[in-house]
Structure 1
Amino acid sequence: MASLGERIRKLRKEKGLTLQTLAGTELSKGMLSLIENNKANPSMESLAYIAERLGVDRNELLEEVPTAELRELLEEIEDLYKKTLEDLSLGFDTIIDKMNPYANKLPHRYESARLLEIYSRGLYYAKKEGWKVFLHQAEEMYEDLHLMNNSADIHMFRAMLKFNDHKYAESLEMLQQSRKSFEERDVVLDSLKKLDFDYSEAILYLALSDDENALRIIEKAISYSKEHQIFYRINDLYRVMSFHAILTGDKAGKDYYVNKLRLFADFSDDQDIDMTLDLLEAHYLNSFAHDYEKANTIIDKNLEKYKEEETSQYFLEKGKSLYGMGKEDEALYWLERHKIWEFLHHPYDLSMNYEKDAYLALIYEKQDNHEMALKHSQIAKDNIEPMPDLPYKNFILDVYNKINAK
C-alpha cells in the first residue's frame, strides 16, 4: 500500500514535475524530499499547498487508497472477474490476492463497494472464510450512497446461494422478501434489475415444479421487454421457454422459441446462442425424438467448429447419440469424458446430466459387465430420486429396474 510520501512522489512524476518545481516558494526542495521519503510529515497547510500544485484534492492525498489508484484497481479487478466468470477454470485466487492488501483500507465510495462485492463473491466461490463480512460492507456502502440497484444485486446473490444449496423454496422466499422490501421503501429499480428479479423468480418456480407461476412471470417479462424495447435477459427467457416446451412434449412451442432465439442470435451476432441452441436441439433429438444420426451430425459440426473447452457439454450428447446408433465402445469414450459442471444447480440441468450414469449402465450391461452396470444404475438412481418427476427420472428409474431385475 502506497504511503503519503509515495503517493506525492508518484503524482509529481506523472505530471513531469521536479522536486524544485513542486516545492515552489512555500516549501524547500529538501523538506519536500523528506516528505516524499516518509521522513517528515507535512502540516495541513503544506499538504493543501502540495495538493493544489499537483491539481488534486487534499483528501485524495490523505486517503490510504487515492481515487486514481482505486479506479485503476477496480478496472483491473472487473476485467479479471469477467474473464473468470467466462472461464471458471481460471479460479478466483488472482482476484483475492490482488484485493487482500486493500480489503480493510477502502474509502467510502462506489469503487470501494464494488471491489468489496467482487472480493466477497471471489472468496465465496473459492470456498474461503470471511466473504459474508465483506458482502455486508459492500451492501452498507451501496445503501449509504443510494445505489439501490447495486444493493439489489447483493440481495439476489444471497437468495441464489440458497438455490445453490438446492433449497429452492427458501431461495424463492428470500428473493420475494427482498423485492417486497424495496417496494416498501418506494425504491424504483431500473428495468434491467426488474428483469433479473423476474428471471430468477421464474427459474425458482420451475425448480419447485410450479410451472403455472413460472410461465406467468416469464410471459410477463417477455411482454415487458418487447414493450420497452429491452433485449436484456431475452435470451435466457426464450431459452427457458424452449426447454420447458421440450419437457412437456410441446414440439411446436419448442420450434417457436428456438426460432426466436436463432433470430436473436443473428441480431446480436452471438455465436454462444447458436452453440447453446444446437446443444438443445441435439438433446431433444437424442432424449425425446430418438433421431440419433441427426443429433450426431449437429454435435460433430460444433465439435469441429469450437475448441474442446467450449464444447465439453456436448460430450454427454455425443455419447447418447453413439449409443443410440449402436456404437457402444465409442459412446463409452465420450460419456466417460463428460463431467457435470459444479455450478449446475437447477433440477432441469441436474436431471439432464444425471442421464450419464444410466447410459453407462446400459453400455456395461451390453458388454456383460453386470457389476459396473449395477454400480452406475445405482448412482443414477440416487442422483435422480430427489429431483422432480421429469422425463429423465422415468428413464433413469426404468434403466435401474431393468439392470437390477437380472
Structure 2
Amino acid sequence: MATLGERIKQIRKEQGLTLQALAGDELSKGMLSLIENNKANPSMESLSYIAERLGIDRTELLQEMPTAELRALLDEIEEKRRNVSGTSEEMVAGYEEIADRIHPHVEKLPFRYESARLLEIYSRCCYHSKRYDWKPAFDRAEAIYEQLHLINSVADLHMFRALMKFTEHQYAEALTSLQDSRKSIEEQTGVLDPLKKLDFDYYESILYSATGDQENARRLMEEAITYSKKQQIFYQINALYRLAGFEALLAGDMERKDYYVGKLKLFAEFSEDPEIEAYATAIEIHYWNSFTHEYEKADRRLEEMRQLLDEEDFYFLEKGKALFGMGQIEEALDCFVQHQMNSFIHHPYDLSMHYEKEAYMALIYEQLGDHEQAKIYAQKAKELIEPMPNLPYKQFILDTYRKIHGESD
C-alpha cells in the first residue's frame, strides 16, 4: 500500500509537476521533498494546500486507499476472477491467488461500493480455497451493501450463504435458507429485479432437484424459461436449458430432452459460444453411453469435442465408459484412472454420475481376474451411492455390487 508521501509524489508526476511547481508560494521545495520521502508529516493546512494544487479532494490523500487505486485493484481482481477455470486444483489456485492479492488491503478498505465488492470476492475465494477466514470480510461486505441500499448485491450474498450449505450437501437446509432470503428481499423491494428473479428461480430449482422434489424443480425451471422469453432476457437461459435437458433425460422424457438440447444448440449458435454447444453435446454423449449404449457414436463425438470438454472431469469418465462398452477394457481402465472428479461438484445428479466410475472399475478388474480389487471398488461405489437419490446410476452401481460380491459368497 502506498504511503501518503508516495501518493503525493505519484499524483504530482502523473500531472507532470515539478517539486517547485507543486510547492508554490506556501510550501518550500525542501519540505515537500521531505514529505514525499516520508521524512516529514504535513500539517492539515499543508495537506489541504497540496491537495488544492493537485486539484483533488484532501480525502483522496488521507484515505487509506485512494479511489483510483481502489478501482484499479477491483478491475484487476474482476479480470482474475473471470479467468478462474480448469481442474479443481487450478480453480483453487486461482482463488488462492485472488485472496492473496486482496488480503493486504482488507483492513484498509474505505466505505465504498468498490470495497464491498472486493470484500465479497475475497470472502468467496477464502471460502473455496480455505486460505483465510472468510466470514469477517463477508459480513463487512453485506453491511456496506445494506447501508448503500444495494439490494441486488445483498441478494447475491444471501444466495452465496445458502449455497454454502449446498456445498456441504445439506440440501434441505440450503433450500430453506434460499427461500427465506428470497422472501426477505421481496419484502424489501416489493418486486424482484428481473435478473435476481432468474437467479433465485435457477438456484431454487437446483435445490429442489437436489432434495428429490422433481415436480417443483421442473415447475420453476419452466417458469423461469417462460419468464426469460417474455422479458427478452437471456440471462441464465443456457444454464436453465442445460438443467432442463438433463432433468428430462433422467426422467426418461426423451422428447423433452431433445427439445431442450436443441434449444441449447440454437442458443450456442446465436451467442457464438462453442462452450455452450459443448454442454449440449455432453448431454448427448452421456445419453448415448449410459442410456442407449451407442458407444461408438459417443466415442466419435468425444474425440470431435475433446478440446472443449473438461478433460479430467468429463472426458475421461465418458471415454472410459465408451471404451468399456466397446470391449476395450484395459484402455477403459486407463481412462478411469486418469479421471478426477472436480471438487466443486456437489449436486446429487452429478455426484451419482461420477460415482459410476468405481462400479465400472470393479467390472473391469473382475474381467481381468482380480476379484479382490473388484470387490474393493464395488464396495466403494456402494458406499458412495447409498446416500444419493434413486436414479439410474444408483441401480447400476448396486447391481454391480451384488454381481461382484454375490460371486464371492
Secondary structure at 1:198's aligned position in 2? helix
Q: Corresponding residue for 1:174?
A: 177
TM-score, structure 1 normalization: 0.96
Q: Corresponding residue for 2:135?
A: 132
How do 1:382-397 residues align onto structure 2 when only pairs under 5 Å count? 382-397=383-398
Code of the residue aligned with 2:314 in structure 1: it is Q
Secondary structure at 2:84's aligned position in 1? helix
Once residues 178 and 308 of structure 1 are traced to their aligned partners in structure 2, the CA distance between those partners, rounded to angstroms, is 35
Cα deviation, residue 89, structure 1: 5.5
Of 237, 241, 244 in structure 2, the residue corresponding to residue 238 of structure 1 is 241
Once residues 247 and 109 of structure 2 are traced to their aligned partners in structure 1, the CA distance between those partners, rounded to angstroms, is 46
Q: Does 1:256 align with 2:237?
A: no
Equivalent pair of 2:92/2:128 in contact (CA under 8 Å): no
Q: Corresponding residue for 1:39?
A: 39
How do 1:6-405 residues align onto structure 2 when only pairs under 5 Å count? 6-85=6-85, 88=91, 90-186=93-189, 188-303=191-306, 306=307, 310=311, 312-405=313-406
Which consecutive unaligned segments of at least 5 residues does structure 2 have?
A: none
* TM-align CA RMSD: 1.4
Code of the residue aligned with 1:2 in structure 2: it is A
User: Could you tell me the percent identity over the aligned residues?
Assistant: 60
Once residues 363 and 85 of structure 2 are traced to their aligned partners in structure 1, the CA distance between those partners, rounded to angstroms, is 36
TM-score, structure 2 normalization: 0.96
Q: Which moved more, 1:294-303 or 1:351-360?
A: 294-303
Code of the residue aligned with 2:197 in structure 1: it is K
Equivalent pair of 1:222/1:237 in contact (CA under 8 Å): yes
Cα deviation, residue 23, structure 1: 1.0
CA deviation profile, 1:199-225 (whole Å, cap 9, x unmatched): 000000001111111111111111110
Q: Which moved more, 1:29-38 or 1:140-149?
A: 29-38
Code of the residue aligned with 1:237 in structure 2: it is L
Once residues 168 and 30 of structure 2 are traced to their aligned partners in structure 1, the CA distance between those partners, rounded to angstroms, is 62
Equivalent pair of 2:102/2:122 in contact (CA under 8 Å): yes
Cα deviation, residue 276, structure 1: 1.6
Once residues 217 and 154 of structure 1 are traced to their aligned partners in structure 2, the CA distance between those partners, rounded to angstroms, is 21
Secondary structure at 2:327's aligned position in 1? coil
Cα deviation, residue 187, structure 1: 5.6
Equivalent pair of 2:359/2:378 in contact (CA under 8 Å): yes
Q: Corresponding residue for 2:5?
A: 5
Equivalent pair of 2:51/2:61 in contact (CA under 8 Å): yes
CA spacing shift, 1:125–1:89, aligned 2, 3 Å: closer
CA deviation profile, 1:153-178 (whole Å, cap 9, x unmatched): 11000100000010000000000111
Once residues 47 and 379 of structure 1 are traced to their aligned partners in structure 2, the CA distance between those partners, rounded to angstroms, is 69
Equivalent pair of 2:248/2:254 in contact (CA under 8 Å): yes
CA spacing shift, 1:40–1:89, aligned 2, 3 Å: closer
CA spacing shift, 1:265–1:115, aligned 2, 3 Å: same
Equivalent pair of 1:148/1:189 in contact (CA under 8 Å): no
CA spacing shift, 1:89–1:125, aligned 2, 3 Å: closer
Q: Which moved more, 1:170-179 or 1:185-194?
A: 185-194
Once residues 167 and 344 of structure 1 are traced to their aligned partners in structure 2, the CA distance between those partners, rounded to angstroms, is 14
Equivalent pair of 1:120/1:132 in contact (CA under 8 Å): yes
Code of the residue aligned with 1:285 in structure 2: it is W
CA deviation profile, 1:11-32 (whole Å, cap 9, x unmatched): 0011110000111122121221
Once residues 20 and 132 of structure 2 are traced to their aligned partners in structure 1, the CA distance between those partners, rounded to angstroms, is 49
Code of the residue aligned with 1:387 in structure 2: it is M
CA deviation profile, 1:124-182 (whole Å, cap 9, x unmatched): 11113421111000100111111111111110001000000100000000001111111
CA spacing shift, 1:100–1:167, aligned 2, 3 Å: same
CA deviation profile, 1:29-81 (whole Å, cap 9, x unmatched): 12211221222222223222211211211111100111111111111111112
Q: Which moved more, 1:268-277 or 1:38-47?
A: 38-47
Code of the residue aligned with 2:254 in structure 1: it is K
Code of the residue aligned with 1:66 in structure 2: it is P
Equivalent pair of 2:99/2:131 in contact (CA under 8 Å): no
Once residues 187 and 195 of structure 2 are traced to their aligned partners in structure 1, the CA distance between those partners, rounded to angstroms, is 20
Q: Which moved more, 1:264-273 or 1:95-104?
A: 95-104
Q: Which runs of 4+ in 1 moved over 6 A?
A: none
Once residues 102 and 72 of structure 1 are traced to their aligned partners in structure 2, the CA distance between those partners, rounded to angstroms, is 13
CA deviation profile, 1:83-103 (whole Å, cap 9, x unmatched): 124651633222222212211
How many residue pairs were aligned? 404
Once residues 146 and 297 of structure 1 are traced to their aligned partners in structure 2, the CA distance between those partners, rounded to angstroms, is 53
Code of the residue aligned with 1:346 in structure 2: it is H
CA deviation profile, 1:331-390 (whole Å, cap 9, x unmatched): 111111111110100000000001101111111111111001101111110000000000
CA spacing shift, 1:397–1:69, aligned 2, 3 Å: same
